[in-house]
Amino acid sequence: MAVERVGPPCTAGERETLRAFLDYHRATLALKCDGLSDEELRRRSMPPSTLSLLGLVRHMAEVERAWFRRVIGEEDVPLVWSEEGDYQAAYDPGGSTGAEAFAVWQAEVEHSRRIERAAESLDVTAYAPRWGEEVSLRLVMLHLMHEYARHNGHADFLREGVDGTVGV
């Protein structure tokens, strides 16, 4: 998969800047996984952790779906990998392939982009059941950046453990 990561603009409006930073973090996760086999993507970190790059991709697909489609878009869609609503299930790649996980993740990213672009402003709000209150699109975008940044840090260590690659 060819991954293009474009740095955020140094001068732009708030919405364009948020979009660019979020896409930068999305591309970073893809770059951390680029060129790896399914076996390498499934490789777990040190015990007792079961974290893997494939699990991170699956988790971020759930995060995109939950915040953009379920909260901001108010769609009644289940989680991808858990009928019981268990967000942790995504971390266990089970029999998933990299191709499957990336296809789902990329589809969720496209849904997120569509929902964000259709929103009238960053001030649009919707109810977030897990938080028990209304949240703005602005907060959702910032929260996703936080999620990606944290998990991209995990991905740094996981990728280094797989093949020694650092600094992507």
Q: Which CATH superfamily includes the segment(s) 33-163? A: dinb family like domain (1.20.120.450)
Mean pLDDT across 2-18: 90
Question: What pLDDT, on the 0 to 100 scale, is given for residue 85?
Answer: 85
Whether residue 49 is predicted with pLDDT greater than 90 in this model: the reply is no
Q: What is the pLDDT of residue 14?
A: 96
Q: Would you list the DSSP string of 52-113? A: BHHHHHHHHHHHHIIIIIIIIS------SS-TT--GGGGG--TT--HHHHHHHHHHHHHHHH
What are the extents of the domains in the chain?
33-163
CB 92 within 8 A of CB 62: no
**Under 8 Å between Cβ of 140 and 71:** yes
Closest to 105 (Cα-Cα) out of 65, 154, 139, 50: 65
* Burial (CB count <10 Å: 0-12, 13-18, 19+), residue 158: buried
Distance between CA atoms of 89 and 82, rounded to whole angstroms? Answer: 6
Q: Is the pLDDT of residue 123 over 80?
A: yes
Tokens of 137: 């699109």
Query: What mean pLDDT do residues 97-114 have?
Result: 97
Cβ atoms of 98 and 44 within 8 Å: the answer is no
Please tell me what DSSP assigns to residue 44: B
What's the burial of 50, exposed, middle or buried (CB within 10 Å: 0-12/13-18/19+)? exposed
What predicted TM-score, i.e. pTM, was given to this entire model?
0.94
